């Protein structure tokens, strides 16, 4: 028997090959290139999404030949296979596909601040356009420290490398951190918009590369069942959780300046929030979707009482997944009296017609008990009257859980009558797991995003106003914390579920966090 669902999915997966282009990676020797961009390109090769006229140009200040660069990348890929544990997961490397990719690589040594780098790159790209069939399309990927974003963009502009003529496109990809607060994000947008048009800028948030994050829109808008319930009439509150079992690892220096709020909330958590709470767009067109997402973030009520509505925590020593973990303050490159938060919980309100009065609780932190990312929607309780005089003393609410990672899926929890002569209720769950329905292709989360840059689909990227709305919403909390460094910082044991103050945030309204399952 033909499984029609699987057949439909397979058909939908026959996606066109991307147009020819030269992709230039600034920061070719860095971690992002090795760990994510190259494996994702390799996956795109095996999925036959890259055209013959694709070329990959590495640019970095390191003195290496193209063979050195290829070797570093090959070693990394092999290490992923032999050691596992990275974002790229495979049992083996397909040598033909890998050769296809490495044959298309070139390397150019140059300082990002040196205009010479850009004139040499320009000549190099002109050569590729003539001889390698890259068709004059250039994708500049900035895998560099944030301080170089505007430097590289301005230099590309000064070298006249971003003008789009004769149907040839020029695009620039930047990743977070996009600013560190509202003023710096505005300044960065203004700086790069001096050189580029908005449609040429692809501000990446890797959470949008996660299939299950993208699926929030499909779930809401492709089903007649849920959308009528998706509002304050039926929903009591929403919990959005991104709990991690990693600590700050080797990133103490970066994290000291950043903290959990900046690192996760205006970007990743707000992606989950906006997809969950946005109004239906009129199409999947980039402008339509991004407009609706911006509106919902703009509707977040400005925080007046950070002490009441936000909780910050920092991990102390403990045990995570059976391993001893150092306290944050004992991590390398962290001040022994640091007040940087590694955990945040926040109760926010969205002041619009759909959500007025429905609290959204967000929490995220490092070194928690389980790695677990989900959006949980709690519906209002049914009236009790009918059950008076039965054995049912208390009724449990309905939950809808969108599991983002790991164990991707959707669960609907409701009550059912237990078999037997008396009326008693049991909690049951209808559970959909992605892996039982859909075969998944190898995925680092960057494949769709890179492919979308090449085909010019900006739906999954942030517009300037999305970024600024995110920072605007978190700014009052950041300001309060900066001005009151240690006032309310709570410690939680590494490996726990977070600080007790975060439980109190919900308990005050008679609610509780869902367990990190
Ligand atoms: C990054 C943050 O953007 O996202 C990290 O800088 C965080 O601190 C990571 O660990 C989480 O992403 P993922 O895909 O591992 O859930």
Q: Does 387 fall in a domain?
A: no
- Whether residue 481 sits in one domain with residue 347: yes
- Is beta strand 399-405 parallel, antiparallel or unpaired with respect to 372-379? antiparallel
Mutate to test the pocket of ligand 1, among 87, 178, 254, 268 (most ligand atoms within 8 A of CB): 268
Q: Does 394 fall in a domain?
A: no
> Angle at the Cα of 418 (from 417 to 423), degrees rounded to 5?
65
Task: Provide the token pair at 444.
Answer: 């680092």
pTM, whole model, 2 decimals? 0.93
Q: What is the CATH number of the domain that holds 113?
A: 3.40.50.720
Residue labelled with tokens 């920092």: 314
Distance (angstroms) between ligand 1 centre and the Cα of 246 equals 9
Structure confidence at residue 426 (pLDDT): 82
- Whether residue 142 sits in one domain with residue 246: no
- Whether residue 229 sits in one domain with residue 367: yes
Nearest Cα residue to 352 out of 394, 295, 307? 295
Residue nearest to atom 2 of ligand 1 (CA): 263
- Whether residue 241 sits in one domain with residue 170: no
- Whether residue 247 sits in one domain with residue 100: no
Mutate to test the pocket of ligand 1, among 145, 242, 252, 263 (most ligand atoms within 8 A of CB): 263
Domain total in the chain: 2
268 is catalytic: yes
- Whether residue 270 sits in one domain with residue 169: no
Structure confidence at residue 14 (pLDDT): 58
- Whether residue 215 sits in one domain with residue 92: no
Measured from the Cα of 210, ligand 1's closest atom is: 14
pLDDT < 70 positions in the chain: 1-14, 85
Q: Does 514 fall in a domain?
A: no
Structure confidence at residue 487 (pLDDT): 81
- Whether residue 474 sits in one domain with residue 330: yes
- Whether residue 373 sits in one domain with residue 268: yes
Residue nearest to atom 9 of ligand 1 (CA): 264
Structure confidence at residue 13 (pLDDT): 53
Residue nearest to atom 5 of ligand 1 (CA): 263
- Whether residue 499 sits in one domain with residue 365: yes
Q: Does 216 fall in a domain?
A: yes
Q: Does 422 fall in a domain?
A: no
How crowded is residue 371: how many other Cβ atoms within 10 Å of its Cβ? 15
- Whether residue 162 sits in one domain with residue 215: no
Residues in the ligand 1 pocket, defined by CB under 6 Å = 176, 244, 246, 263
Q: What is the CATH number of the domain that holds 216?
A: 3.30.360.10
Q: Does 37 fall in a domain?
A: yes
Q: Does 13 fall in a domain?
A: no
Mutate to test the pocket of ligand 1, among 180, 244, 259 (most ligand atoms within 8 A of CB): 244
Domain housing 496: 208-378+445-451+463-507
Reduce the DSSP state of residue 446 to 3 states and report it: coil
Distance (angstroms) between ligand 1 centre and the Cα of 303 equals 25
- Whether residue 311 sits in one domain with residue 266: yes
Distance (angstroms) between ligand 1 centre and the Cα of 224 equals 33
Q: Does 438 fall in a domain?
A: no
Residue labelled with tokens 């929890």: 413
The catalytically annotated residue of 206, 268, 380, 391 is 268
Torsion angle of C-alpha atoms 81, 84, 89, 91, degrees rounded to 10: 40
């Amino acid at each position: 028997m033909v499984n029609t669902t699987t057949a439909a999915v397979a058909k939908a997966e026959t996606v066109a090959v991307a147009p020819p282009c030269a992709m230039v990676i600034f920061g070719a020797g860095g971690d992002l290139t090795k760990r994510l961009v190259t494996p994702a390109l390799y996956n795109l090769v095996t999925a036959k999404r890259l055209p013959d006229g694709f070329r990959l140009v590495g640019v970095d200040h390191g003195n290496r030949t193209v063979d050195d660069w290829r070797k570093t990348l090959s070693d990394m890929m092999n290490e992923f296979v032999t050691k596992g544990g990275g974002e790229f997961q495979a049992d083996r490397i397909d040598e033909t596909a890998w050769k296809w990719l490495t044959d298309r690589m070139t390397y150019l040594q140059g300082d990002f601040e040196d205009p010479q780098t850009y004139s040499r790159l320009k000549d190099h790209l002109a050569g590729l356009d003539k001889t390698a069939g890259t068709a004059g399309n250039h994708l500049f990927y900035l895998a560099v420290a944030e301080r170089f974003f505007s430097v590289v963009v301005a230099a590309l502009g000064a070298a006249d490398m971003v003008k789009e003529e004769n149907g040839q496109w020029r695009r620039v990809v930047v990743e977070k951190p996009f600013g560190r607060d509202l003023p710096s994000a505005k300044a960065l947008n203004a700086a790069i918009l001096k050189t580029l048009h908005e449609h040429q800028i692809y501000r990446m948030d890797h959470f949008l590369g996660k299939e299950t994050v993208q699926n929030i829109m499909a779930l809401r808008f492709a089903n007649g069942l849920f959308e009528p319930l998706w509002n304050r009439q039926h929903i009591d509150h929403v919990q959005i959780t991104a709990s991690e079992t990693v600590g700050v690892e080797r990133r103490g220096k970066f994290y000291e300046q950043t903290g959990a709020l900046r690192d996760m909330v205006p970007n990743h958590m707000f992606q989950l929030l906006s997809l969950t709470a946005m109004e239906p767009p009129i199409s999947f067109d980039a402008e339509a979707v991004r407009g609706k997402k911006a509106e919902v973030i703009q509707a977040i009520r400005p925080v007046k009482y950070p002490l009441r509505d936000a909780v910050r925590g920092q991990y102390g020593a403990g045990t995570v997944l059976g391993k001893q973990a150092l306290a944050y303050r004992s991590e390398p490159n962290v001040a022994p009296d640091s007040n940087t938060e590694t955990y945040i919980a926040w109760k926010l309100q969205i002041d619009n017609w759909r959500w007025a009065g429905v609290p959204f609780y967000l929490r995220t932190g490092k070194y928690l008990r389980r790695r677990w990312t989900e959006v949980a929607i709690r519906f209002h309780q049914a009236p009790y009257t009918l059950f008076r005089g039965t054995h049912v003393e208390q009724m449990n609410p309905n939950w809808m859980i969108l599991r983002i990672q790991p164990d991707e899926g959707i669960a609907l929890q409701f009550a059912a009558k237990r078999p037997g002569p008396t009326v008693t209720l049991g909690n049951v769950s209808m559970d959909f797991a992605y892996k039982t329905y859909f075969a998944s292709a190898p995925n680092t989360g960057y494949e769709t995003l890179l492919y979308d840059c090449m085909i010019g689909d900006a739906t999954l990227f942030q517009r300037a106003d999305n970024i600024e709305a995110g920072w605007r919403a978190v700014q009052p909390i950041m300001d309060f914390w900066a001005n009151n460094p240690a006032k309310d910082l709570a410690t939680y044991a590494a490996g726990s579920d977070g600080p007790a103050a975060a439980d109190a945030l919900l308990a005050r309204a008679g609610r509780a966090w869902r367990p990190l399952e």
